[in-house]
């Protein structure tokens, strides 16, 4: 551990180091200036403009942990967490685009990629290429390792056949980490991670889902029909894809925690501003003690969720065990996001129910936190396993 990290870990959880403060402030400014004006349109059209994605690359948030030698920002995991939180305050769809790119795709390449893979793909991911992470299938969600996408060895390549479902960034991505089995009889020990480029023959992006929330974030089916993937594009070892999946998702979960904390903070901020302005019975509704207590409860929730996300992130960064804390932070922050967004809708009254105001969208967006990267039941299972071990 470097001196710097040792000093940082001695700081209170919510006190940010100077580099963290600079990063957070610059992303906050970007989110307010560049993302906020587009939120409603992106939600309605269920699409990101490519110009926004290009600006995210220019800002450096699409390659946070990629070393500078590969053209990345040379940052740390906690920087990724802060970036996802800040973007999600304004739009959790943008938050998850950046989250998948950093905490799943780049994370997996940094950890499991050999020099050749890193040299071929990291500069692209840092500059223009969006990544996606394809594990789920129609028959394998929570039971992810029941996947059936098949990879058959053929000379210096593998031939992939199958379908993936629910793949975030499917519409925008040019690089996909696809999990397939080289040997269905071997169970999870057959699972292998492959790097599939959009242009590979036999690979197509299928149907895009029409969703309740995070609508601008694309969620797509992927179709692999005898898709030939060079052996050099195996990520990690053959038959060790389950480790790639488990370990990246354990970390990715903290990113989803950050997305949900950002969402909750955004909703609370809107609620505070509105209750100061809206007048009923001759005074602003924020002057009623009942409303004040509701806002205070929301602040308690947000503080607890923030602490749990920052704690899990700092533990991960310090190289300490964080599995249970990551599960706790995801379940807590996703429940808090739903509660706080719901309160914001209530406090906006009728205006909370219409699209002209920002909180109904946050309420819809909050729901996904309890579903993807392991449902809440699966998080509870992880926590209970540790309690009873």
Ligand X SMILES: Cc1cc2nc3c(=O)[nH]c(=O)nc-3n(C[C@H](O)[C@H](O)[C@H](O)COP(=O)(O)OP(=O)(O)OC[C@H]3O[C@@H](n4cnc5c(N)ncnc54)[C@H](O)[C@@H]3O)c2cc1C
Catalogue the active-site residues: 373
| Residue 130, phi then psi, degrees to nearest 5 | -90, 140
218 touches ligand X by CB under 6 A? no
Q: Closest-CB residue for ligand X?
A: 141
222 touches ligand X by CB under 6 A? no
334 touches ligand X by CB under 6 A? no
Stretch that binds ligand X, among 134-142, 276-284, 288-296, 338-346 (CB under 6 A): 134-142
Q: Give the integer Cα–Cα distance in Å for 103 and 372.
A: 14
For ligand X, give the closer residue by CB, 60 or 170.
170
Residue whose token pair is 């819809």: 364
- The strand pairing partners of 34, in sequence order, are none
329 touches ligand X by CB under 6 A? no
CB of 135 to ligand X, least distance (A): 3
Binding mask 197-216 for ligand X (x = CB under 6 A): --------------x-----
133 touches ligand X by CB under 6 A? yes
CB of 320 to ligand X, least distance (A): 26
Q: Give the integer Cα–Cα distance in Å for 182 and 232.
A: 15
Q: Which of 32, 51, 119, 142 binds ligand X (CB under 6 A)?
A: 142
What are the distances in angstroms from CA 187 to CA 182, 184, 239, 352, 382? 10, 6, 10, 48, 21
Q: Give the CA-trace dihedral at 249, 98, 264, 378, to 10 degrees.
A: -10
CB of 53 to ligand X, least distance (A): 16
134 touches ligand X by CB under 6 A? yes
Long-range CB contacts (< 8 A, 24+ apart) of 16-19?
16/82, 19/79
125 touches ligand X by CB under 6 A? no
Stretch that binds ligand X, among 13-21, 128-136, 230-238, 290-298 (CB under 6 A): 128-136
259 touches ligand X by CB under 6 A? no
141 touches ligand X by CB under 6 A? yes
CB of 376 to ligand X, least distance (A): 6
87 touches ligand X by CB under 6 A? no
For ligand X, give the closer residue by CB, 119 or 386.
386
135 touches ligand X by CB under 6 A? yes
C-alpha closest to that of 248 among 306, 316, 183:
316
Kindly identify the residues of this chain, within the stretch 154-193, that bind ligand X according to CB under 6 A.
Answer: 166-168
233 touches ligand X by CB under 6 A? no
CB of 91 to ligand X, least distance (A): 15
Q: Give the integer Cα–Cα distance in Å for 193 and 129.
A: 19
CB of 178 to ligand X, least distance (A): 10
Number of residues engaging ligand X in binding (CB under 6 A) = 19
Residues interacting with ligand X, by CB under 6 A?
Answer: 100, 133-136, 141-142, 166-168, 211, 219, 368, 371-373, 375, 377-378
């Amino acid at each position: 551990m470097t001196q710097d990290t040792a000093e940082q870990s001695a700081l209170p959880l919510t006190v940010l180091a100077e580099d963290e403060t600079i990063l957070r402030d610059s992303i906050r400014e970007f989110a307010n200036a560049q993302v906020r004006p587009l939120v409603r349109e992106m939600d309605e059209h269920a699409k990101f403009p490519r110009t926004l994605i290009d600006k995210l690359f220019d800002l450096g948030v699409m390659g946070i942990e990629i070393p500078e030698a590969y053209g990345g920002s040379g940052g740390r995991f906690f920087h990724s967490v802060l970036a996802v939180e800040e973007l999600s305050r304004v739009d959790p769809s943008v938050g998850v685009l950046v989250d998948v790119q950093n905490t799943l795709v780049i994370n997996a390449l940094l950890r499991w990629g050999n020099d050749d893979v890193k040299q071929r793909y990291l500069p692209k991911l840092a500059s223009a290429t969006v990544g996606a992470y394809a594990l789920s299938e129609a028959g394998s969600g929570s039971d992810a390792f029941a996947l059936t996408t098949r990879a058959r060895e053929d000379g210096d390549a593998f031939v992939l056949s199958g379908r993936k479902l629910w793949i975030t960034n499917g519409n925008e991505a040019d690089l996909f980490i696809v999990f397939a089995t080289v040997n269905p009889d071997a169970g999870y020990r057959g699972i292998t991670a492959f790097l599939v480029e959009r242009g590979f023959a036999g690979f197509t992006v299928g149907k895009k889902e029409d969703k309740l929330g995070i609508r601008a974030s694309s969620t797509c089916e992927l179709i692999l029909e005898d898709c030939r993937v060079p052996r050099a594009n195996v990520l990690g070892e053959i038959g060790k894809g389950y480790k790639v999946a488990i370990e990246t998702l354990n970390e990715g979960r903290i990113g989803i925690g950050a997305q949900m904390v950002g969402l909750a903070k955004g909703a609370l901020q809107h609620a505070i501003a509105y209750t100061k302005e809206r007048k009923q019975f001759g005074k602003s509704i924020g002057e009623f003690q009942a409303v004040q207590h509701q806002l205070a409860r929301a602040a308690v929730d947000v503080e607890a969720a923030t602490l749990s996300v920052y704690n899990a992130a700092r533990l991960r960064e310090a190289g300490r065990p964080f599995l249970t804390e990551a599960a706790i932070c995801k379940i807590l922050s996703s429940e808090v996001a739903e509660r706080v967004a719901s309160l914001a809708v209530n406090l906006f009254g009728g205006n909370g129910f219409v699209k002209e105001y920002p909180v109904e969208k946050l309420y819809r967006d909050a729901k996904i936190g309890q579903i993807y990267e392991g449902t809440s039941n699966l998080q509870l299972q992880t926590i209970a396993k540790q309690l009873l071990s």
